[in-house]
Amino acid sequence: MDSRDKVLDKYSSKIYKNRKEHVIEIESGEPQVIAADTRAIPGIMTNRGCCYAGCKGVVIGPLKDVVNIVHGPIGCAYYTWGTRRNKAKGDENTKDFTQYSFSTDMQETDIVFGGEKKLRQAIKEAVEIFNPECIMISSTCPVGLIGDDIHAVAAESEKLYGIKVLAFSCEGYKGVSQSGGHHIANNGLMKYIIGTGDAEPQKYSVNLLGEYNIGGDGWEVERILKRIGYNVVSVMTGDGSYDHLKNAHTADLNLVQCHRSINYIAEMMKTKYGMDWIKVNFIGVDGIKKSLMDIALYFDDPELLARTEAVIAEELDEISEAMSYYKSKLDGKKAAVYVGGSRTHHYINLLKSLGVEVILAGYEFGHRDDYEGRDVIPTIKMDADSKNIESITVTKDEANYKTFHTPEKLEALKAAGVPLEKYDGLWSDISEGAIITDDFNHFETEEFLKLLKPDIFFSGIKDKFIIQKSGVPSRQLHSYDYSGPYAGFRGALNFAKDITMATYTPVWNMVQAPWKSEPTLVGSLGGME
Ligand code: CFM
Ligand code: HCA
């Protein structure tokens, strides 16, 4: 029996039937199909989050000059307060409210008699105290159940205070994971914010999409882009702002880092404004080099291309010696990588460059295209859950529509390997023999850990401690365990250093749980000691 069957064999037949579609071993040859973006099994300890987490926590939460009001009982606001490490800094032009947690703190009486009054009051207080240009309201499960009309309150407040007020019906139960929340957030930003600014277009301008500035990643990417000579119009949404987002339509090109959470905006901006988008990956030296060259090829300017090559050479020079040292320490090690969506794939080239092979991997909530590549999208069957998330249609904005290249030039760029409107799936980089589990759970984590014995396990806070207690070092790839940045050239070096330290710290194997050497309870039960 192989590892996959050894683990799945422990399930009842009903659970086995479901999970066998989500757990596969990578074989060469035929393209492999995996079940993804479907409901988790009730009772299973899934690592997934909810729709509200994806909308408020991931996409709109990082917009620093927005007062994000969570309409619901206090827990939803409290437990998402500062836990995702999307860093932000305000300045004289842009306020930063990201350190606050705003909530209507609904009580039982509000659930019985309705919470709209409280929401109006919260908006009034936010305006009086913080004077924001934009307020966003996110609804939580009970709000959807009792039917508070947050959209009507938003429209009325917008008139009353003369500021932008947006409402997101992102109740936690909607969709099967965070992913539905990403889509809802994308729809709102596209409908009501992008395109409402009147800034002048700048030369060599880009938007950075799906970059949330975790541990300062976005700042490192912006540093490199600016060094080359690009103008970053907006970042969606790490350290981003309502103020910049309004003018996103004026950029020349969209760069998409985390496609899972934001491909909807990239696609809609292509239809509405004619703006092209390319897939980038600023994690790992090979990924960064390829992305920077792709951007330069798109702009097709000899000076920019020369500058790109020079910056790559200089940045590499800064880190190469240290990277080789860490590679000598890490060569031959094996890793497990489990993050929410696109990130698992993004780290493979970085790990490979350090000689680390990924033997166990998966996503919490990735879709089939995140595994198999964008080409499978037309074959993905919609189910009742995916249909439950609104998919909006945008049309050409005649006043702001522009095309940077002719269709022939775009075809030539695609033929030259520039990933225009394209991303590959995890399959394109994962090694043969690796075990992939979609929507991984605690039981499978523990079982595969015992069987495959990776040298390091990258995941999140929910399983970090079971991994460490079993003697295996863990690094959180969501929060970087308070380290970072991990993106860009300097980030790659931080990462190499952190994982070298983790794998050369044998402490996890030395600690023994106290109850394994002496009883923690002493007494007698039924006459027995
Ligand atoms: Fe995109 Fe993300 Fe990810 Fe994601 Fe997330 Fe995150 Fe993530 Mo945590 S947006 S899909 S919903 S790269 S919060 S910054 S680390 S699970 S892999
Ligand atoms: C979320 C946010 C999260 C959680 C991280 C973790 C993040 O899913 O709502 O489980 O460790 O990156 O902060 O993905």
Q: What is the pLDDT of residue 510?
A: 85
Query: Taking residues 83-108, what's their average pLDDT?
Result: 97
Given pLDDT bands bounded at 50, 70 and 90, which one contains residue 30?
Answer: confident
Share of the chain above pLDDT 90, in %: 93
* Average pLDDT of span 147-172: 98
Is the pLDDT reported for residue 426 higher than 80? yes
Confidence tier at 528 by pLDDT (50, 70, 90)? confident
Say yes or no: ipTM exceeds 0.95.
Answer: yes
Q: Tell how strand 435-437 and strand 23-25 pair up.
A: antiparallel
* Average of per-residue pLDDT values in the chain: 96
Is residue 101 within 8 A of residue 77, CB to CB? The reply is yes
Confidence at 518, pLDDT banded by 50, 70, 90: confident
Q: How confident is the model at residue 517 (pLDDT cuts 50, 70, 90)?
A: confident
- Taking the centre of ligand 1 as the mean of its atom positions, its distance from the CA of residue 283, in whole angstroms, is 14
Q: Does 339 score more than 80 pLDDT?
A: yes
- For residue range 236-294, list pLDDT tens digits in order: 999 999 999 999 999 999 999 999 999 999 999 999 999 999 999 999 999 999 999 99
Confirm whether 84 is a catalytic residue. Answer: yes
pLDDT level of residue 136 (50, 70, 90 thresholds): very high
Query: How far is 70 from 345, CA to CA, in rounded Å?
Result: 32
Nearest residue (CA) to ligand 1, atom 9: 261
Q: Mean per-residue pLDDT for 441-462? A: 95
Q: Is the CB of 343 under 6 A from ligand 1?
A: yes
Residue nearest to atom 2 of ligand 2 (CA): 84
Residue 141 is among the residues annotated as catalytic for this protein = no
Residue 520 has a pLDDT of: 81
* Ligand lying nearest the CA atom of residue 364: 1
pTM equals 0.96
Output the ligand 2 site: residues, CB below 6 A.
49, 53, 57, 83-84, 178, 340, 460-462, 476, 478-479
Atom of ligand 1 nearest to the CA of 212: 14
The domains of the chain, with CATH numbers, are 51-192 (3.40.50.1980), 205-332+379-423 (3.40.50.1980)
Cα–Cα distance, 353 to 429 (Å, whole number): 12
Nearest protein Cα to ligand 1, atom 6: 478
Using CA atoms, how far apart are residues 401 and 393, in angstroms rounded to an integer? 16
CB 233 within 8 A of CB 248: yes
Is residue 54 lining ligand 1, measured as CB closer than 6 Å? yes
Residue 523 binned pLDDT confidence (cut-offs 50, 70, 90): confident
Pocket flag, ligand 1, residue 272 (CB < 6 Å): no
Residue 132, φ and ψ in degrees, nearest 5: -80, 160
Q: Which one from 4, 182, 259, 260 is the annotated catalytic residue?
A: 182
What's the average model confidence in pLDDT over 481-509?
Answer: 95
Looking at residue 41, its pLDDT comes to 95
Per the CB < 8 A criterion, the answer to whether 475 and 481 are in contact is: yes
For residue 58, give the nearest of 297, 238, 280, 328 by alpha carbon. 238
Q: Whose CA is nearest to atom 13 of ligand 1?
A: 58
Separation of CA 462 and ligand 1 centre (Å):
14
Q: Judge whether residue 366 has pLDDT over 90.
A: yes
Instruction: Give percent above pLDDT 70 in the chain.
Output: 100
Is residue 525 pLDDT above 90, yes or no?
no
Which residue owns the Cα nearest ligand 2 atom 9? 53
* Structure confidence at residue 527 (pLDDT): 80
Query: For residue 521, is pLDDT > 90?
Result: no
> CB of 492 within 8 A of CB of 285?
yes
**C-alpha to C-alpha distance for 321 and 286, rounded to whole angstroms:** 16
Helix axes 217-228, 302-330, angle to 10 degrees: 140
Q: Residue 275: its pLDDT value, please?
A: 98
